[in-house]
Amino acid sequence: MEFSAQTIADLLNGTVEGSAEATVTGLSKIEAGEPGTLTFLANPAYTDYIYATKASIAIVSSSFDPESPLPKTLTLVRVDDARLAFSKLLAVYSDMTKPEPGIHPSAYVHESASVDASASVGPMTVIEAGVSVGPDAQIHAKVTLEQGVKIGPKSIIHSNVHIGRMCDVGADCMIQPGAVIGGDGFGFAPNSENTYQKVVHVGNVVLEDHVEIGANTTIDRGTLGSTIIRKGAKLDNLIQVAHNCDIGENTVIAAQTGIAGSTKIGKNCMIGGQVGIIGHLTIADGVKIAAQSGIGNSIEEEGMVVQGSPALPIRDFKKSYVHFRKLDQLADKVNALSKNLKPQENG
């Protein structure tokens, strides 16, 4: 697919500096630009690459002021925010390359399921009884939608995703490959035979609108009621969300975080990678949790920043860490003092 510099500028409300007729057929990183590709400059750390890039068109901010001559083969498209503009362009490109509407012949669709005529269903996908797939939704290859699942308009379900019975996915959601939405929670009750009786989970998972779930992330269904991921939340790859959790609006969670059951996380929170949160806690709105932190108690103060395991307010953690790094020196001093102390005489 070919785009001209002027077409790109029109899409992004930008201006062309150079040849408006310059064309591109692909994308490239600025440090690895090739002729016929489009790149962008948003991070000042990469500025030096633009003076040598072989890309044909570069998206830059309106304030970009070259300190050296640019390649004569390079056309600029100036915009207010280069990163945001490039992201918008990628979304436009993705929309133009989406699958054609229709159901692949190898897919299984139960006669009671409803698939909108504008939706697409990929090869070897299984759509069970009572499923509803909304307008312009994309269901890719080898997806399983169990009984009663609802997929909202324009949502994209990538390959090998499993969505359990009665789960509800809102509009404009994206679920990346391999995610499991609505598997049973980790619930077992000891019995008189000294074994564990499985606790069957009969609730569901609800993803509200504009939610994104990363690859191989797992979200367990509620024991009773729902596990809820609220509007605009973004979950990275390889995250575990246990039964009956409630993740607030616009909260973002990085990879390999584990959240135990019935935890309630507020809106606009930011949670780093490999964070562990025990169950039945409440995290207030706007809280930031540094990577690899362990959360063992509720955080009730809005906007608090914490770090460490167990987690402390960020300032306390940094002060403690200064002392921690000097423990070996402190130990040496204690040992030296011990050697100089005379044993006390009895009596």
Which residues make beta-bridge pairs with 40? 59
Pick the closest to residue 42 from 15, 4, 80 (CA basis): 80
Cβ–Cβ < 8 Å for 264, 283: yes
Tokens 């395991």 -> residue: 309
Tokens 């509407």 -> residue: 101
> Would you state the pLDDT for residue 300?
96
Computed over its alpha carbons, how large is the radius of gyration of the chain? Answer: 27
Residues whose CB is less than 8 angstroms from the CB of residue 344 and which lie 6 or more positions away in sequence, other chains included: none
Domain borders along the chain are 3-96, 103-316
> Would you state the pLDDT for residue 342?
64
> Would you state the pLDDT for residue 235?
98
Which residues are identified as catalytic?
243
> Would you state the pLDDT for residue 59?
97
DSSP at 299: B
> Would you state the pLDDT for residue 236?
98
Residues (pLDDT < 70) of the chain are: 342-347
Which overall architecture, per CATH, does domain 3-96 show? 3-Layer(aba) Sandwich (3.40)
> Would you state the pLDDT for residue 316?
86
Cβ–Cβ < 8 Å for 289, 308: no
> Would you state the pLDDT for residue 162?
98
What span, in angstroms and rounded, lies between the C-alpha atoms of 134 and 319? 53
Is 237 in a helix, a strand, or coil? coil
Domain 103-316, classified CATH 2.160.10.10, yes or no: yes
> Would you state the pLDDT for residue 156?
97
DSSP at 194: S
Query: pTM score, two decimals?
Result: 0.84
> Would you state the pLDDT for residue 343?
64
> Would you state the pLDDT for residue 344?
60
Q: Report H helices in the chain.
A: 5-12, 47-50, 82-96, 314-325, 327-340
Structure token digits, residue 182: 């609505």
